Structure 1
Amino acid sequence: MANEIKSNDNNSNQRQQQRMAIILLIITMFGCFLYMKFTDFLVIALQSQLQINGDPNDFTKNWQDPPIPITIDAYIFSIDNPQEFASGHSRAKIREMGPYSYRLAIHKEIVSFEDDNRIVTFFDVQKFYFKNHESHGQLSDRVNVLNFPAYAMANMVRGMIASMPFSFGLNPIVFSLVSLLFLTHGESMIKQNLTAGQLLNGYPFRILDTIDRLAAPLRLFGIELPDTGMPDNKFGFLWTKNGTKNGPYQTYTGQDGTDLLRMVTFKGQYQLDFYDNDECNALNGTEGSTLGLNVHRDRYYYLFTHDLCRSLNVIYQQDTWVNGFHTYRFGPDRNAFAAPRKNPLNRCFCRHMDNENLCDGIFDLSKCLAGAPLAYSFPHFLYAHSDIRTNVENMRPSENRHRAYIDVDPITGSPFNGVDKIQINALLEPIPYLSGYSDVRSTILPLLWMQKSAKIDDKLSGELRLALYPIYAVYIIIYLLFFGGFSLLTIHIARWSYQSYKIRTNRTMMTNVVNTTDEKKPPSRSSSTEPLYQQQQHNHQVFRLIINNNQSK
């Protein structure tokens, strides 16, 4: 009887253990589902907030006027042997000067919304403010640099003559006139003792004033000269960008499930028209303010850059932390500007297919700058072919110092920290019949490189933490639900298994004891002879009863 009660208790306990295991398993599976899908649910919940709209929300305001402080550091390459280099007797000896630091203010000027507010049209406006105390040089520093506007003009004239019949006969005549024009305006190939401030903030290019006066009669007949891209006839690497409107851009607003800030058109075109390949002309990716929502490590992302005249892909590098926030670091592929043999997608960007080494690490901008002989590269020709790097002296590329990267929030794709680094180079070639330009070596000459850096400060970090506390709380609950449920389930199963093992062990031991006792105990009436003995006693009692009845009679 006691054994039966104990067996029933064990069975009841087993059922309770099973029910508890099922409950913990359900909790763990539910927590696992929420843990794995938390980012997706969060993105869905945030989509209504992460949109560009006409009634500006906080996201739209921060996009229009980024609150993250942005700094531009300009490093100028001064030529220490201008005469020897211009005469073709030696390579250019480069000396890096700077940085000259500027604060960059960006403003997105919204023009209109279209397609039921699914598309926004805007201009990108940038302004530069010199930061004297943070610079390692003064704007009054003297530098020797290529007279780029004069060389660009001569190069444009050469291209125009080359497209005409009998160009070989025109070259001596036309370039004699150009030489006279340069001589009267004091424009030599190397601009010596130019100040850093003039090179960056702009200086007058007087030849354009003369050309404007000479071309005035042509305007009476409706003939306009091509736009030089130099406002007020001044040249400067920041002057041409300072306060000018880039665009217009058209991007998706993120409403109705559209990809946030993904490019639609640029200057009214759905693709560029600079290159002979649709892939190179494609407006891939976003306009640069974000990588898009829900960023993944294993995906390629594209950023369209107006200055590059193309979309540039960035790839995952590593996980990072910025002011306590977990971020993903992305950066340009080392083959972003590589020769076509290394990166076949760059075939349409290379002008020198007969010598791909001249394209290896260099991105030619001349097609999108009306023939202006400029090219981009990473600073100090990082990842460029050795022929390019050794053609000038004192180039010292370093990945740690010259590689670009961006640390983005995985949820919103917004940058929390980043450094964009690019070098501007002149595609320098000798120009026959032009005094002072005919003897120079063919060189990809570095002019300067710029570093644009931005990082959220402590104040903005604190505001973000306050805004993210509810999300952190939900995430912690889900985390505890999953890992807590899994831990409890593991402990419960281990404990249940141990108890089951003990019960089985006890039963086995009791069975062995009973069997051993039965084997040693001798037979008795209570065992095998008990039934026969009881039958005999019963028969004897019946017999005695019958005798007693007969005697009474």
Structure 2
Amino acid sequence: MAQKVCFITTGVIGTLLVIAGISFVHYFPIIFESIVKKQTVLANNSTGFEEWANPPAPIFLEFYVWNLENPDGVVKGDKPNVTERGPYVYREERPKVNVTEHGNGTVSYTSPQSFFIDLDLSVGDPMNDTFTTLNVPLLTVVNELQFMSAAERIALYILIGKHQDVCVTHTVHEYIWGYKDEVLTKIKEFKPDLVPTDVFGFFAGKNNSNDGVYTVYTGETDSKLTNIIDNWKGMESLPYWTTPQANMINGTDGTYNHPFITKNDTVYVFSSDICRSIYALFLEETNTRGVPTYRFAPPSYLFANYTIYPPNIGFCTPDEAHCYPGGLLNVSLCQFGAPIFMSSPHFLYADQSVMDMVIGVHPVEELHRTFFDVEPYTGGPLNVSKKLQINAHLKSYDFYWEDWYKHVSEAYVPLVWINEHGAVTQESADDLKKQLYLPLKIGTYGTWSVLGFGCLLVVLSLTCISVMVCKAKRSSRPLDYSVNIDANAPLINGSTRTEIVPS
């Protein structure tokens, strides 16, 4: 009796464990997802808010400059011959400040950037190292002359003066962070509204400044909208391009994503540097400091000519008659009229015709491709490398009073390329594994362990009870013994022989 009670109790416990295990299998993913979403929304009491406001990963900005080896030959019409120099590395800090929560599920902020040279990681000293390149301020002014009247052209030509060089030599620091340019200074004094400043440099004015006010969704009403831009500088769309699709401000600022990203997702990022949104597709599974990640990268056709990728017709300005070779993005409208074109470093994915215009570029996909390594559960970007090359469109301008650019060959001349990258520290990666993956493993393995142990107890209980019942049946069945007398058996000592046989 005691054994029977024990077996039944075991079965009941096993059944309860099976029920609990099945419940955990069903509800644990729901509970886990709910907790992760709660911690990744952009609310003051969430872990995600702190990481969003103050990114823990160190950010580095690498500059590679292109030295023009044959400046005199370029003026005469030779193909530009360039060599890469660098990197010149800066540490970047970009916290989010002036964070203002609104009542409609959005939050606004600015993100001032500060840069600090890291000579230990750099190949030289940007304050002293010089290189030769195109005179972009002069090129910009000459490019604008084609849209002016003859009288305005002559006036500006007289103002600028004859003694201007098509190619110039500056320190790396001057060309990146800015120097006072003679041409811009004269124009600024003559016609202040023609140029915004008399300082030229690709990052001039960007140190200790921000690129405008962003308003993004917090994700509290829909986690898929976490950090998605609602508007930038008060604009819900851009004014630079020719189609509504091209002018859309899609995605995030690239510092934070929505949780539970899948391989089928398209990751959109808005970049004020190129005045447009880009997108990235799943490329491969990666591992960042022991944390499983998904690598997303822009497709090779992102900057393709519209004949290859029709949606890009919106980036032909002012119309489709002004479309440029694949791999280039004309950003002159958002760069004060300068004939500046963006591309991937070394013209990666650009048309062969673009690369044939210069000597010295050698694109390598593994080195020059932009990518984002994203932790899929939290959406956190754990390893990011955003690469971009700045090029100037050099072509002949046949103005009758000067031959500055009369004999040059058309080319998209690379000036500088940038790698803005950051990766989570090992300490932060270990914390993430403890806070996310350890509970996930415990919950997953624990759930199946409970279910499996419960099934084992039920099977064991049923087996033992079955064996016990069978034994009980066998022991409770009576044996019927009868006496058979063999009449033909011989008598011994006068008695009969009997045989006792169970019936």
- Please state which band the TM-score falls in when normalised by the shorter chain: 0.7 to 0.9
Aligned equivalents of 1:391, 1:428: Cα separation in 2: 10
Q: What SS is found at the alignment partner of 1:303?
A: strand
**Higher relative helix content:** 1
Aligned equivalents of 1:500, 1:91: Cα separation in 2: 92
How far residue 19 of structure 1 moved from its aligned partner, in angstroms, is 6.0
CA deviations 1:170-215 (Å, max 9, x no partner) are 2xx654544444445x431111x32222211211112232233334
Do the aligned partners of 1:34 and 1:478 also contact (CA within 8 Å) in 2? Answer: no
Aligned equivalents of 1:483, 1:58: Cα separation in 2: 29
How far residue 235 of structure 1 moved from its aligned partner, in angstroms, is 0.9
CA deviations 1:408-467 (Å, max 9, x no partner) are 2323322222111111111222111143112212211111110011112244445x35xx
AA in 2 matched with 1:29: I
Aligned equivalents of 2:345, 2:30: Cα separation in 1: 41
Task: Quickly say closer, same or farther: Cα 1:149–1:277, change in 2 above 3 A.
Answer: same
Task: Quickly say closer, same or farther: Cα 1:262–1:470, change in 2 above 3 A.
Answer: closer
Establish whether residue 478 from structure 1 lines up as the match of residue 443 from structure 2.
yes
AA in 1 matched with 2:67: S
Q: Tell me the equivalent position of 1:218.
A: none
Q: Tell me the equivalent position of 1:393.
A: 359
Decide which of 255, 263, 273 is 1:297's aligned counterpart.
Answer: 263
Q: Unmatched 5+ residue regions in structure 1?
A: 162-169, 216-223, 511-523, 527-553
Q: Tell me the equivalent position of 1:550.
A: none
Q: Tell me the equivalent position of 2:415.
A: 447
Q: Tell me the equivalent position of 2:65.
A: 76
How far residue 291 of structure 1 moved from its aligned partner, in angstroms, is 1.7
Count of matched residue positions in the alignment of Structure 1 and Structure 2: 476
How far residue 303 of structure 1 moved from its aligned partner, in angstroms, is 1.0
RMSD: 3.7
Task: Quickly say closer, same or farther: Cα 1:64–1:227, change in 2 above 3 A.
Answer: farther
AA in 1 matched with 2:65: I
Do the aligned partners of 1:27 and 1:481 also contact (CA within 8 Å) in 2? Answer: no
Do the aligned partners of 1:32 and 1:482 also contact (CA within 8 Å) in 2? Answer: yes
AA in 2 matched with 1:43: V
How far residue 60 of structure 1 moved from its aligned partner, in angstroms, is 4.3
Aligned equivalents of 1:265, 1:306: Cα separation in 2: 12
Larger Rg: 1
Taking the TM superposition and a 5 Å limit, the aligned residue runs for 1:222-301 are 225-228=193-196, 230=197, 233-257=198-222, 259-301=225-267
How far residue 400 of structure 1 moved from its aligned partner, in angstroms, is 1.2
AA in 2 matched with 1:127: S
Q: Tell me the equivalent position of 1:204.
A: 180
Aligned equivalents of 1:52, 1:344: Cα separation in 2: 40
Decide which of 29, 37, 56 is 2:30's aligned counterpart.
Answer: 37
Aligned equivalents of 2:268, 2:173: Cα separation in 1: 34
Task: Quickly say closer, same or farther: Cα 1:181–1:502, change in 2 above 3 A.
Answer: farther
Do the aligned partners of 1:349 and 1:364 also contact (CA within 8 Å) in 2? Answer: yes
Task: Quickly say closer, same or farther: Cα 1:86–1:492, change in 2 above 3 A.
Answer: farther
More displaced 10-residue stretch of structure 1: 14-23 or 342-351: 14-23
* TM-score normalised by structure 2 residue count: 0.82
AA in 1 matched with 2:439: V
AA in 1 matched with 2:112: V
How far residue 125 of structure 1 moved from its aligned partner, in angstroms, is 1.7
Aligned equivalents of 2:84, 2:147: Cα separation in 1: 32
Establish whether residue 213 from structure 1 lines up as the match of residue 189 from structure 2.
yes
More displaced 10-residue stretch of structure 1: 328-337 or 95-104: 328-337
CA deviations 1:301-337 (Å, max 9, x no partner) are 2111111211111122223222232322222222211
Do the aligned partners of 2:14 and 2:456 also contact (CA within 8 Å) in 1? Answer: no
Q: Tell me the equivalent position of 1:189.
A: 166
Q: Tell me the equivalent position of 1:457.
A: 425
Do the aligned partners of 1:117 and 1:255 also contact (CA within 8 Å) in 2? Answer: no
Q: What SS is found at the alignment partner of 1:448?
A: strand
AA in 1 matched with 2:137: P
Task: Quickly say closer, same or farther: Cα 1:469–1:61, change in 2 above 3 A.
Answer: closer
Aligned equivalents of 1:227, 1:252: Cα separation in 2: 36
Q: Unmatched 5+ residue regions in structure 2?
A: 475-482, 486-503
Q: Tell me the equivalent position of 2:117.
A: 130
More displaced 10-residue stretch of structure 1: 281-290 or 474-483: 474-483
